[in-house]
Amino acid sequence: MNNPSQQAVIYIGLNDSETGVQKFVSEKYLSVLKNVCRSYRIAFSVQMINGGYFHEDGRYTEENTLMLSLLNVSEQTVTEIAKDLCAFFHQESVMVTFSPVSVIFIQEAL
């Protein structure tokens, strides 16, 4: 029935860490992300979202963010992917969350 799995989600902001603005169109970042996932040979889902946060010094920032979802990928591999994306996208940091999920596949023929 239910298959216990672990989901990792990596949130990668698109504003450059030094300039505070997005340097490229979102589709370019999405293309890089897809190439990274392909090179690791992992299945993934990705969404473009918009979010806001406060810096430690109190400044507020809003930015486009890629939300990369991975199922049953080792924590070590998730960390490697997160580090790659952080460097490629010139980020100060990226956020990673882990949570248990139940996965089922539904198949139906007409």
Domain range summary for the chain, segments of one domain joined by +? 3-103
Rounded to the nearest integer, the mean pLDDT of the chain is 94
pLDDT band of residue 55 (cuts 50, 70, 90) is confident
Q: What is the mean pLDDT of residues 57-73?
A: 95
pLDDT band of residue 15 (cuts 50, 70, 90) is very high
34 CB-near residues (< 8 Å, 6+ apart): 46
**CATH topology for 3-103?**
Alpha-Beta Plaits (3.30.70)
Q: How many whole angstroms separate alpha carbon 91 and alpha carbon 19?
A: 11
Q: How many whole angstroms separate alpha carbon 43 and alpha carbon 41?
A: 7
Q: What is the mean pLDDT of residues 54-64?
A: 92
